[in-house]
Amino acid sequence: MRSTEIDWKELSSLNEINGKPSLGYAGPVTGIINNHLIIGGGANFPDSMPWLGGKKKYYDDAFIFVPAGDSLRFLKSIKLPDTIAYAAICNIPNGIVYAGGENQNGISKKVWQMRMDSSGNIIFDSLPDLPIALSNASLTYHNNRFYLAGGESLSSVSSAFFMLDMKKPQDGWQEMAALIKPTSHAVMISQNDKIYLIGGRMKTKSGISELYSSMYVYSITDNKWSNVKSLPYAISAGTGISIGENEIILFGGDKGETFHKTEKLISEINAEHDNAKKEALIKQKADLQSSHPGFSNEVLRYNSHKNEWNKDGSIPYSVPVTTTAFLKGDTVFIPTGEIKAGVRSSKILMGIIKHH
């Protein structure tokens, strides 16, 4: 088996649009179409941090870049059909598909495929709606079929697993074997007639989320989920890619230390009736979030032949969550996303894979 290492750099391409600094976007629609890198939609806090009363803003702008040596050149802006963030994203050979997500009107069940026509225009094809509206779900593609796992509905975290056969799209999304447990914010990767669901989390009725270190594998031929080797630690909202036939690499993610402390304080604030004590707890939460240390920058590598995880160094930059990693040739891109509570990245991480 060849070993691989990744040389990372940080691109400021989003800051080169109109010469204005960008706040960056969490939950963007992003990927490669015909050698063009797309970053669209997403959400941020343009006025002030959320714990200071800042309101989340959703976007329908999409920015198109073309590779220029070892950087990216801004080409043009277009509009998505609607504002959207936190959709499930999947890159396919001729485009990008995004499913569900949320905006200022709530959670969506819409599914869109983006492709490029012969004139270089981005076309949006509407695919069948999801059976239920979901945000922060996971999407992958295998053999002309899309698979969507979990996500958050208005009232709960989903354990549903749906499949859309593009040979029979009129049949809509079919419900397959349910996930072993309700899951949102997971990484899902297809490889060798199997689908891997990695990490993630579940918000519970107490308001405190359960973070997962588990990994499950779905057999497409048997329509069945089973356990495989767990991660070294719980992780959610990270990104990952498949390399070759038996390797999966995960980048960063939220280990949940600050996340859990914040959820606990929110629960205490909601239960507190004494105004002075409530104000003290609100200040404590604001202090905690404003001093957020950022998310993991560690790289984890899974070998499916050996069924084992190994730590594989780290990325020398702030590594975002709530975005999508994707591969173009031997180059990994991880665009924008969230780098600490309420703070987005205006950078695009680019990693060149070196095979030895």
CA distance 318 to 294: 7
Q: What percent of the chain has pLDDT over 90?
A: 77
CA distance 138 to 132: 14
Give bridge partners of residue 329 from the DSSP assignment: none
230-241: burial string, b at 16+ Cβ within 10 Å, e else: ebebbbbbbbbb
Comparing CA positions, the residue from 274, 304, 323, 298 lying closest to residue 28 is 323
Neighbours of 275 (CB within 10 A): 8
CB 43 within 8 A of CB 59: yes
Comparing CA positions, the residue from 323, 325, 322 lying closest to residue 300 is 325
CA distance 26 to 43: 5
Over the stretch 289-323, which tens digit does the pLDDT of each residue have?
777 767 999 999 999 999 999 999 999 999 999 99
Does pLDDT of 7 surpass 80?
A: yes
pLDDT computed for residue 310 by the predictor? 96
Cα dist. 148→157, 160, 243, 335 in Å? 14, 8, 21, 22
Over the stretch 19-28, which tens digit does the pLDDT of each residue have?
788 999 999 9
pLDDT computed for residue 21 by the predictor? 87
Does pLDDT of 240 surpass 50?
A: yes
Domains of the chain and CATH, by start: 4-243+315-355 (2.120.10.80), 256-294 (no CATH)
> What average pLDDT does the segment 168-172 reach?
97
> What average pLDDT does the segment 59-87 reach?
95
Which position has the higher pLDDT, 207 or 107? 107
pLDDT band at residue 1 using 50, 70 and 90 as cut-offs: very low
Average pLDDT over the chain reads 93
HSE (CB half, 13 Å, CA atoms) of 269?
16
Residue 43 φ then ψ, to 5°: -145, 150
